[in-house]
Amino acid sequence: MAHDIVFFLAPDDETAAATRLQNPGRAFESVTCRFIEPDSAIAEWDMYFEEPSAEVPPLEQLHGWSWPKWVTAPLNDGVEVFALPQRLTRALASASSSELEELAGRWIIRLKSADGDDMTDEDLLAVLQGVAQLATSAVSTGGGLYSWSF
Residue 75: the pLDDT is: 83
The 3-state secondary structure of 49-65, one letter per residue? HHCCCCCCCCHHHHHCC
Cβ atoms of 25 and 56 within 8 Å: the answer is no
- Of 38, 29, 47, 48, nearest in space to 5 by CA: 38
Which tens digits make up the pLDDT trace of 73-92?
A: 788 888 999 999 999 999 99
Which tens digits make up the pLDDT trace of 103-140?
A: 999 998 888 887 665 567 789 999 999 999 999 999 99
How far apart CA 70 and CA 87 sit, in angstroms, is 16
Residue 67: the pLDDT is: 92
Helical (H) or strand (E) element with 93: helix 86-94
How far apart CA 79 and CA 72 sit, in angstroms, is 9
pTM: 0.92
